[in-house]
Structures are given as C-alpha cells and as structure tokens.
Structure 1
C-alpha cells in the first residue's frame, strides 16, 4: 500500500511538473515561499543557470573557418536516441561548407556560410542545455523520492504541500530551460535569415525538443512504476 501511494504521489509530481497535467499547474499557483525554499535547497543557479559560454563553451563566430567536420559531427550527435541533435540530411549533400580558397593574386577567400556552418555553431549549445536539464530533472526526481520516504517514516508527510513543492520545482526548471532553448533557437534563426538560408531546420529542432521532453517524461513514469 505504501509503495502504491509513493508511486501515485511521485507520478503526479513528474507528470504535472513536466507539463502533462495542467490542472495541477493551475491549482497550485506559484508560491514565493516555496520557490525560495527550493532555491535554498538546490542552490541559486539550479533552476536558471544554463549559460553555455559561462560554463566554458566556445562562442565562435559563424564565419569561423576552424569548424568541426559537418558530416562526422552530425553522425555522432544523432546516433544517441533522444539527443537534441540539429540534424538536417539535406545539408549533407549539396550544401556542405566549402574550404577556404585563394584568388589568382593569393588573396584568401572566406568559406561560404552554409546552413551546416550555422548548425555546427549552435549544436554544442543545444547539447549542453539538454545534458544539464536532464541531469537536474533526475536530481529533482531523486530528491522527491527521498523526501517522501523520510517524511513518511517520520510521520511528518503533508501530501498536498509535498506535491505542491515539487510541481513548483518542475515548472520552475522547465520554464527556465524553455526560455534558454528558445533564446538559442531564435539566435540560430536570426543567423540563418541574415545569411539568406532556409529556416526549415528551426521547426524541426523545436519538434525534436518537445519529443525529447516527452520521452524523458515517459522514462520517469516507467521508473516510478517498477
């Protein structure tokens, strides 16, 4: 019976926190005291620090000729199931980046900026965001399970407050991850437009992002039901 209650309670948290149960998001409105409690528990940067450059990422120019190989780079990134890979097969045939060339006078001509060039610029940022977000979601899940068990054993568990707390934790994390993702995606779109390139990859990337979140939700629910 206890295991059943645990599964149900944690299941509600995960589904609601990841946007799959909007009724609870509506009912449990944001509470500054709970949000402060979560910040104190997990740290000030846990919910809103996803800055790739500040974590040592390379913010290279889109016209930088020192790029990774577009074919092998994408093959490695897309091989992992659920990876937030900006994968566009159309760029691997007739739209590959050309190597630098020189004119007859010896003047170096900058390589053409292609869609693949821009994908290579932003792929590490998407990979970093995904890895950090999934790691922190796993941390929330583990904390929720541990807190539930400890409170239940001590006889101090208040289910409504417990569920409210971790719904807020999940929605705080998701909102900030969404904000960072779409900020990066919009920057990528601006680069494509500025170079007169197709923006079809933008909608494809957004679909992969939503699919990745849905997949993680299913994984967590499967873990609960074991």
Structure 2
C-alpha cells in the first residue's frame, strides 16, 4: 500500500483519478486529506466534512477484471469492508443503506463513491472514495441525518488506525470478489441491508409517496421492492428514495 497524505485538496478521488491517468499506480494506492474542500458523493451530491475530524480518503484498486454484469458485487465488497471495521468498534444498530451508505440506526455515518474504468465490458480499475464521520460532533442544520463514531460512542478515534483497518478489510473483501465468491458477498450484504423486509415509505422521482418492502438487489444492482399490490418492482438509484 502506498499512502499519500495531503493537508488539503478539493477531492481525493479527483486527485487520485488524475494521478492514475498520468502515472502507473501501485495497487491500493491511498490518498487521504485533513481537509477536503469539494468532496463528491452519489448523484453529484457534495460531501461536507470538518477539517481534521474525519476520514476523507480514496483508494485505487486494480487487477480484478470484473465483468460489468457483476458490478454490484464490487459495491457489496466495499460497503461490507467498511461495515466490518465499524462493527468491531461496536457502533450500535449498524447497517448498509442501498447502495452503499453506512448507517447507525437512522443516521448516516459514512458515504462511499465508486468510480470505475472500463475496458471490453470489464472493470479493470476502481477509485473508491470514502467519507467517514469520525470525531466531528456538530453538523450543519441541513445534515440532520448525519452522525459520527464519536457522537455515537463518546470515544475519540485515531484516524490513522481507522485508515489502516479500512484498507486492510477492503483487501480482504476484494480478495473474495477476485475469487468469485459472489454468493457469500451477496448473502453478507443482504443480512445487513437497511430496512430489508420492513414496510417503508418511499418517494419516486415525481415525489409520489408509496409503501413498499425491500426484498433484495436485482442482477443489475437495482433495489427490489414489493409494492402494496404484492408485485415486485426494480428501482435504480435516481428512481427512488426513502421518504
């Protein structure tokens, strides 16, 4: 593992992406920063993080030659790796909210952004951005559903220790991916999937509310939801949210 530490950067993933385009990177090259000024999340969202309090990092991974049709298993592997590390920290009511937010009860503590490079319908490199709320205890009013490890446990955490633990566990889960242990990854993911088998209020892209029950993840990585009429419908990321 090659570790690049920066005092401040707009986005660790953008920095790592540019680096990968201009040089040959070692597998599991990691960029971490004390302050990220323009962190990126899912669906063009920004990731807000107080300087020197949280873990804002990106990991370059290569060498798995994963078929695009199996992309969901990469998501399973990464989100489970972070879940594994945090479960050791005894974070209460830990779960993974589809596709890859890490939750404690109904509060978000970690966001993940996976960006893949494709060749011949295969993923050959990935940049995994991780924003983990660690020692920050106050959040802006517009982040009412955000929390942190310290806010939950009242423990001050060592960021360097958590970084090494996360990268180590990502290697373990990606090894399962390379070994094509897809069934194991999916089973582990579904066991900790947020709101699975629980009647939940959803909102579609037109802001229409409806009740449904999460059953699982489709072959294409969409969310499978049983509707009130007992039919099962698939939803992509931009098509549904929890109300």
- TM-score, with length taken from structure 1: 0.24
- TM-score, with length taken from structure 2: 0.23
Structure ranking higher in strand proportion:
2
